[in-house]
A and B are shown apart, each in its own frame.
Chain A
Amino acid sequence: MAEDSDTVKRVLNGDVDSFRILVERYQRPVLSMIRRLIWDSHRCEEIGQDVFVTAFQKLSTFDPARSQFSTWLFTIARNLSINARKKKLPLPMEALPETPVSRNPSHDLSDKEIFMQLDETVKALPGKLQRAFVLAEIEQMPYEEIARIEGARLGTIKSRIHRARARIYAAMKDMKGDIT
């Protein structure tokens, strides 16, 4: 987006308040992405703030000729989410599931249980598959942009999404019960 480049130029020329425009424009997609990558709504806000502060610190390294501002920002969000997951802090009590998910195969699962089991399947995916899947299927990002964020080839990203989807379908096959 050309507007983003103009705003970046203004910030680099000393108009720090213009950075607010970028924060307001991208806070929702960035927070949504982080929430899906770390699965912890409590730390999501903190990491989201770190994303924007890091972007401000490194703004002079952003090159509009190489990528869009959004791709550059999402790459920072991706990197900080990976770092946050590596720290493996214990989940706060409120982040734990409200009701235990039934593992009894003879019992038909409720909608909520099905959703939770599928979420658990996504959480259990290897990081690369999980990120490609979340960005493509949940966040609805174009595959080309995901490839740039991940620093991988387009074909590799498509393959990761396909493999993640296959695992989710396999999990669904094992589930009893239907969504009402």
Chain B
Amino acid sequence: MNLDEKYRVWKERPTPLNVPPDFTGEVMRRVHLEAGQRQAQWNWPGVLEFCQRNVSFQYAALAVAAIAGLSRLWLIFFAILQP
């Protein structure tokens, strides 16, 4: 057998590859875990979506804004009314 044939036989010899039966399942378990962690992290689009969807949060924010606005005007009311 010459070198080329020897090389070809070596290169093309069958080398069975055992892919573990649960390989896909294990990868997908880790991928789902990764995706879950990613969702749990705060990001700006997520915060905006929360503000947009949560009505209770919107009322609370409105009340806080109103109180903050009125408290700024308090000195003016005090000066006009002079109780």
Contacts and interface: CB of A to CB of B under 8 A. Distances in A.
B6 to A, nearest CB: 6
Interface of B: 1, 3, 5-7, 9-11, 13, 17-20, 23-24, 26-28, 30-32, 34-35
A118 B15 CA distance: 14
A65 interface: no
Interface residues of A, number: 31
A36 B27 CA distance: 21
Contacts of B3: 169, 172-173
A40 to B, nearest CB: 14
Interface of A: 16-17, 19-20, 23-24, 27-28, 31-32, 35, 41, 45, 48-49, 52-53, 56-57, 114-115, 118, 137-138, 165, 168-169, 172-173, 178-179
Given A20-B28, A114-B6, A169-B3, A45 B13 contact: no
What are the 7 tightest A-B residue pairs by CB atom distance, in nearest-first order?
A52-B27, A56-B31, A16-B35, A178-B1, A23-B24, A179-B9, A118-B10
Given A32-B17, A172-B3, A57 B23 contact: no
Contacts of B5: 179
Contact of B31 (A19, A114, A137, A169): A19
A169 B20 CA distance: 35
18 contacts: A16-B31, A23-B23, A24-B24, A27-B23, A45-B23, A49-B23, A53-B34, A56-B31, A56-B35, A115-B10, A118-B10, A138-B11, A165-B7, A169-B7, A172-B7, A173-B3, A179-B6, A179-B10
